[in-house]
């Protein structure tokens, strides 16, 4: 199915796949978007698994993104996140983030389920965002999850919570549970959506990797946007090859 006369934004060619995605999204009342690190790549934030700057090619996730890693060397983990936080603080949402925020404003139901911890969807103006893996600009304590705020009085690395525990970033590490309330809200949205847009994720980390199957089982169409096919591509009704910064504005411009 190809929509006649689909026009893309200048610079983004109208492809057959884009036109098919437009066809699927036009008239959709309830849209869910799930995003991964590829969503923020064109804001200058490296992804975890794609070359040349893949984080997990250069750093050990077991040492830096697990509770055991933090127990072994809390200062190392604290500093690694501090460096990433400083880098992410310089990043701005790109046209793809903005396109999603503007789309939400005119949609009936529009939910973003992101694995990203950079806060760029909210910075672009998206209101209904579920940050499944937390947010690098928030902190909590390691032992009891007490929330904590900067500035920290001591110069310790890491600082301590008032309860005596060490502080850590409020992000989800490997082997940790996602917040049950976030998962409930995510699965509710997936069970009631017309279209799921999957943007910039390798589809390797659960539970987000299961969202496409969940939406399909509930009868939704799945549209995937990624420069490369992923394990989710076979499930997708349409795979639109390309980057989030060009494809999302081109797509959103057609859905009025
Ligand atoms: P990955 O680094 O695994 O995958 C990034 C995806 O983005 C790949 O499929 C790329 O092809 C795609 N991509 C690259 N450039 C893009 C662009 N301009 N536009 C759109 N897509 C692009 O990142 P995630 O799938 O998000 O978890 O990784 C999932 C989780 O694994 C992360 O949340 C993180 C990581 O380990 C934890 O740290 C717990």
Domain with residue 83: its CATH number is 3.30.1600.10
Those residues whose C-beta lies under 8 Å from the C-beta of residue 238, and which sit 6 or more positions away, are 17, 20, 21, 24, 221, 222, 223, 224
State the distance from the centre of ligand 1 to the C-alpha of 104, rounded, in angstroms.
Answer: 23
Same domain, 22 and 53: no
Q: Model-level pTM greater than 0.85?
A: yes
Same domain, 146 and 224: no
Nearest to 29 by CA among 189, 185, 193, 188: 193
> For every residue of 53-69, which 3-state class applies, written as one string?
CCHHHHCCHHHHCCHHH
Same domain, 111 and 39: yes
Nearest CA to ligand 1 atom 31: 205
| Whole-number pLDDT of residue 16 | 94
Reading the chain (256 residues) residue by residue, the pLDDT tens digits are 223 333 444 445 668 999 999 999 999 999 999 999 999 999 999 999 988 889 999 999 999 999 999 999 999 999 999 999 999 999 999 999 999 999 999 999 999 999 999 999 999 999 999 999 999 999 999 999 999 999 898 889 999 999 999 999 999 999 999 999 999 999 999 999 999 999 999 999 999 999 999 999 999 999 999 999 999 999 999 999 999 999 999 999 999 7
Is 133 assigned a catalytic role? yes
Atom of ligand 1 nearest to the CA of 172: 39
Nearest CA to ligand 1 atom 36: 48
Same domain, 97 and 39: yes
State the distance from the centre of ligand 1 to the C-alpha of 206, rounded, in angstroms.
Answer: 13
Nearest CA to ligand 1 atom 26: 36
Nearest to 141 by CA among 123, 165, 117: 165
33 forms beta bridges with: 112, 197
Indicate if the alpha-carbon torsion angle 88, 116, 140, 165 is positive or negative.
Answer: negative
**Among candidate residues 171, 195, 229, the one where a domain is terminated:** 171
| Furthest CA-CA distance within the chain | 64
Task: Please state the length of the chain.
Answer: 256
Number of domains composing the chain? 2
Residue 14: strand, helix, or coil: coil
Same domain, 213 and 108: yes
- What phi, psi does 76 have (nearest 5°)? -60, -45
Nearest to 120 by CA among 51, 23, 199: 199
Mutate to test the pocket of ligand 1, among 21, 35, 47, 175 (most ligand atoms within 8 A of CB): 47
- What phi, psi does 32 have (nearest 5°)? -120, 135
| Whole-number pLDDT of residue 256 | 75
| Whole-number pLDDT of residue 237 | 98
**Among candidate residues 112, 147, 171, the one where a domain is terminated:** 171
Q: Which of 94, 97, 121, 133 is catalytic?
A: 133
Q: Which helix (H) or strand (E) holds 197?
A: strand 195-199
Angle at 170 between CA 199 and CA 207, to 5 degrees: 40
Q: Which helix (H) or strand (E) holds 97?
A: helix 95-106
Same domain, 75 and 155: yes
| Whole-number pLDDT of residue 53 | 85
Kindly report the CATH number assigned to the domain that includes residue 128: 3.40.50.1220
Same domain, 187 and 166: no
Nearest CA to ligand 1 atom 8: 202
| Whole-number pLDDT of residue 12 | 57
Ligand 1 neighbours by CB, cut-off 6 Å: 36-38, 41-42, 47-50, 61, 65, 115, 133, 172-174, 199-202, 204-205, 226-228, 230, 243-244
Same domain, 80 and 197: no
State the distance from the centre of ligand 1 to the C-alpha of 53, rounded, in angstroms.
Answer: 12
Residue span of the structural domain in which 80 resides: 46-90+136-171
Same domain, 196 and 238: yes
| Whole-number pLDDT of residue 13 | 62
CB atoms within 10 A of CB 182: 17
Nearest to 167 by CA among 182, 152, 181: 152
Under 8 Å between Cβ of 165 and 141: yes
């Amino acid at each position: 199915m190809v929509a006649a006369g689909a026009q893309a934004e200048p610079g983004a060619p109208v492809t057959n796949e884009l036109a098919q995605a437009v066809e699927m999204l036009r008239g959709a009342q309830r849209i869910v978007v799930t995003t991964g690190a590829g969503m923020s790549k064109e804001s200058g934030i490296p992804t975890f698994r794609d070359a040349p700057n893949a984080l997990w090619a250069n750093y050990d996730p077991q040492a830096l993104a697990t509770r055991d890693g933090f127990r072994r060397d809390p200062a190392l983990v604290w500093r690694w996140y501090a460096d990433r936080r400083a880098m992410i603080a310089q990043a701005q949402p790109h046209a793809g983030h903005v396109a999603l925020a503007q789309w939400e404003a005119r949609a009936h139901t529009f939910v973003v389920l992101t694995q990203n911890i950079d806060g760029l969807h909210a910075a672009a103006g998206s209101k209904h965002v579920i940050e499944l893996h937390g947010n690098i600009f928030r902190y909590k304590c390691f032992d009891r999850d007490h929330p904590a705020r900067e500035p920290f009085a001591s110069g310790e690395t890491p600082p301590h919570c008032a309860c005596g525990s060490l502080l850590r970033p409020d992000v989800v590490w490997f082997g940790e549970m996602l917040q049950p309330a976030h998962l409930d809200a995510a699965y509710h949205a997936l069970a009631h959506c017309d279209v799921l847009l999957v943007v910039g994720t390798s589809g390797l980390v659960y539970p987000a990797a299961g969202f496409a199957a969940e939406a399909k089982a509930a009868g939704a169409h799945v549209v995937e946007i990624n420069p490369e096919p992923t394990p989710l591509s076979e499930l997708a009704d349409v795979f639109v090859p390309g980057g989030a910064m060009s494809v999302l504005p081109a797509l959103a411009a057609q859905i009025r």
